[in-house]
Amino acid sequence: MIDISRFDLRPLTADMPLLPFCCADKDLNEFLAQDAKNYLEEMMAVTYVFIDPDKQQIAAYFSLLNDKVAYDPQSKGIWNRINRHIHNNKRRRSYPSVKVGRLAVGEEYANSGFGSIILDFIKREYAKGNRAGCRFITVDAYRDVTKFYEKNGFEYFTTLDILDSTRLMYFDLKNVKEQLKDS
């Protein structure tokens, strides 16, 4: 497991010089190089980078944006499962969430547990520092990484997207909040 304490975590800013980054996914490389600052400027997503100070390169990054978990009449069973964990008087047709828009680990740092560490970091930060109300983390996971998200406690919203190139998945932050309270 990689020790991320040796990396500098910084929010990407409009004037920050972009250090080198390369992962196995061309789209994720292009997002960081071409779109991340535009998303920031348009107030659509914030990207955070883990910088390896020894090599002066980006080891990993993730982007976050606001989202919501909303009722879908075609997936009543899953909605009922979500609502079981919410008090009756607090149940709504939608719940606030944060979406992991992008998550990428550089090739040099791949298969080190870095991605799971990033997800754990996001879970803890939103569970303990919930400034605006956020119950869930969501992700539109590419088909080839759904197992990674499953391993990290994410569940599928629906089976209707089983043949799609991405699957909508969620994680209930209430579980982490309870763990933090007990520790």
112-158 per-position pLDDT tens digit: 999 999 999 999 999 887 777 889 999 999 999 999 999 999 999 88
Predicted local confidence at residue 42, as pLDDT? 97
Cα–Cα distance between 133 and 24 in angstroms, integer?
34
pTM of the entire predicted model: 0.90
Q: How many CA atoms lie within 13 A of 178 on its CB side?
A: 6
Helix (H, G, I), strand (E, B) or coil at 8: strand
Which two structure tokens, joined as six digits, stand for 156? 């599928």
CATH number of 4-182: 3.40.630.30
Q: Where exactly are the structural domains of the chain?
A: 4-182
Predicted local confidence at residue 71, as pLDDT? 66
Helix (H, G, I), strand (E, B) or coil at 15: coil
Helix (H, G, I), strand (E, B) or coil at 64: strand
